[in-house]
Amino acid sequence: MDVIVEINNGKIRGYEGDDVKIFKGIPYAEPPIGELRLNTPKPKEPWNGMLDASEYRSVAPQPLPVTDFFPPPPQSEEECLNLNIWTPGCDTMKRPVLFWIHGGSHIYGSGRLLNGRSISRIGDIVLVSINYRLGPLGYLYIPGAPTNIGQLDQILALEWVRDNIESFGGDPSNVTIFGESAGATSVCTLMAMPKAKGLFSRAISQSSAVQAKGFEVSGRKFTAEMILKELNLSNDDLSGYRKLPVEDIIKAFMKAQEKALLDRKALEFRPFIDNDTLPQHPIKAIQEGYAKDIELIVGTNLEEWRFWRVFEPKFEEYEDSRIKKRILNSMGLIGEEEVKLDGLIDVYKMSRKESGLEMNIHDIHDAYMSDLIFRTPSIKFAEAQSKHQKNTYMYLFKWKTPFEGGRYGAMHAMEIAFVFGAFWEDDLWTFPKKTTETETLSKKMMNYWVNFARNGDPNSNDALEWPSYEIESRKTIIFDKEVEIWDDPLSKEREMWYSMNQWSQF
C-alpha cells in the first residue's frame, strides 16, 4: 500500500510492509557532480510532482570487493546523497530516531546493506540510514577544496532529519546517531565537530577505530599525491579533478592503493584535523568535555580481527615465526619498537588463560590487532566521555559464530545482525543464522539499544541492569549466550596498551 508524505521539498511516495512505512532513496542533497564534486554538499532543491521512494537509489562510487566472500555493491553513481527511512507511522507520535552511519573504512558500504524494518517495528522507533561520499570523493585532500567532506554529508543528512523527520513520525529533538567501524569512527568524530552541535543528543559507537595517531594532514597529502599522479594531475589541480569521469578516479585509487601496499603503506580516507570542521583530535575534545551533554554507548567485539581471516583462508597454517614477524612489523609502524615481543605475548597468554580464551600465536596476533585498531581506542573513548557524562555505557560482544567451524568467532561486524534484528528478515547478508539462541540475544540487544535511544538509559525492568561505565570499576556488559556484567574485562591487555607511548597524550 502506498504511503504519501509531504515535506518542504515536495511530496514523497513510500509504501507499507509488515506494519512499517518504508521510504527509500530520498535525496537530501543536490548531486555532488561538476563543481560540487569534492565540495560542501548543497541541500536538495524542491521538486515538482511526486518523488517515488519505493526503490533504493544509487550508493556512493566505490571499488569492487577484493574477495568473492562479500556481495558486490549495488549500482553506484555520484548522485548518491540519499537516505532511507523505516517508521511505524507517519503520524504525530514523535518517536525516537536512530540514525545509522554505515562502516567500510570510509571506502566501501552503503545505507542499504541493512534493513531497518525489524528494529523499527519491534522498538517503535524511526530508523534512518544514509549514504555519504567515500574514498577519493569524500576524503581526498586537495588545496582549495573543503575538507572532511564525507562528514559534511553526514551533517547535512542530520540537518535534513532535524527539518523533516517529524513528518515521518519521528522526534527531531530525540536523535541517536549510531554506526559501526568507520561509521563508529564517524560517530566519535561528529561528537567533536562544531557543525554537528545540537543535531543529536545520544550516540552509539560499535567498534570505533579512532586511534591515537592518524588524524594528521600528512597522510592525506600522501594519499592525494598518489592518486593525482595516477590521473596525471598536479597536487593542486582541483579544477581538473572535477572534470574527470568518476570511473577514472576509482581506477586511479585502486592502482595507487596497490602501489602503496607494495611499499608497506596505505592510502588514508578518514576524517582528519583541519582546524576548521574538526579543530582537534576527537578523543582530546571529548576528554575536555566538548560533548558532555551526549549520552553514549561504546563497545567492541572480542575477536574483531578475525574478520580479516576472510582474506587469508590459510592463515591458521602460517608458521609461528611468520606471525611473530607480523606483530613486530606492526609495532614498528606504530612507533612502539621498544616494546618487547616476548613480554607482549606473555601478557596475552596470561590474560587469555584467566579468561578461558585461545592462547596460540595466531589467536594472540588477532587479539593484538583487535586491541590496536578497535578495543583500546574504544575504551579510551568511553573513559573520556564518562568523566563528563554519567550515562556512558560499555559493552563487549562475545558471541561466536559457528560459521566455517568457528574460525571467525566474535569477529568485526558480527553484532550488527543482532542490533538490527536481521533474523526476522530474508534479504540480509549475514553470518549468524536464525536459532533460538540468536533470536534471544538479538531481542535483548535491540531492547537495550532502543531503550537508550528513547531516554538515554539502556535499562528496563525486565532485563539485566547495565551499569554506567566508571573508571574505578570499568563495569562492562558482556553479550554472549548469557548476558553478564564483568569488571574491567581483559584488564592486563588494557593496562599494557595504556603503557605504550602512542596513548601517553591521552
Q: What is the pLDDT of residue 430?
A: 55
Of the listed 304, 383, 415, 493, which one is catalytic? 304
First to last CA, the chain: 54
Of the listed 110, 118, 120, 181, which one is catalytic? 181
Query: What radius of gyration, in Å, describes the C-alpha atoms of the chain?
Result: 22
User: What domains can be seen in the chain, in order of their start residue?
Assistant: 2-291 (3.40.50.1820), 300-503 (3.40.50.1820)
Q: Which residues of 146-162 are buried (b: 16+ CB within 10 A; e: fewer)?
A: ebbbbbbbbbbbbbbbb
Distance CA 253, CA 226 (A): 8
Exposed, middle or buried, 435 (CB in 10 Å: 0-12/13-18/19+)? exposed
**Which residues, listed in sequence order, are joined to residue 61 by a DSSP beta bridge?**
none
Residue 407 exposure: Cα atoms within 13 Å on the Cβ side: 14
Which is nearest to 413 in space by CA: 399, 427, 393?
Answer: 399
* CA 137, chain centre distance (Å): 18
Q: What is the pLDDT of residue 18?
A: 82
Q: What is the pLDDT of residue 119?
A: 97
Query: What digits encode the pLDDT tens for the residues 23-82?
Result: 999 999 999 999 999 999 999 999 999 999 999 999 999 997 655 555 666 778 999 999
CB distance 119 to 453 below 8 Å: no
Which is nearest to 358 in space by CA: 325, 317, 394, 400?
Answer: 400
Distance CA 381, CA 383 (A): 5
Q: What is the mean pLDDT of each run of 10 residues along the chain (506 residues)?
A: 96 94 98 98 98 96 70 80 98 98 96 94 98 98 96 99 99 99 98 98 97 90 97 97 97 95 88 96 98 99 95 93 93 79 94 88 96 97 98 98 90 95 68 86 98 98 97 98 98 94 80
| Residue recorded with cell 533470536 | 439
pTM of the model as a whole: 0.97
Q: Any catalytic annotation for residue 304?
A: yes
E-strand ranges in 50-197 read: 50-52, 82-87, 95-101, 126-130, 170-180
25 in the Ramachandran plot: left (φ > 0), alpha (ψ -120 to 50) or beta?
Answer: left
Of the listed 412, 415, 468, 493, which one is catalytic? 412
CB distance 251 to 281 below 8 Å: no
Which three cell numbers, joined as nine digits, stand for 155?
551533517
DSSP state of 371: I
29 three-state secondary structure: strand
Q: What is the pLDDT of residue 501?
A: 76
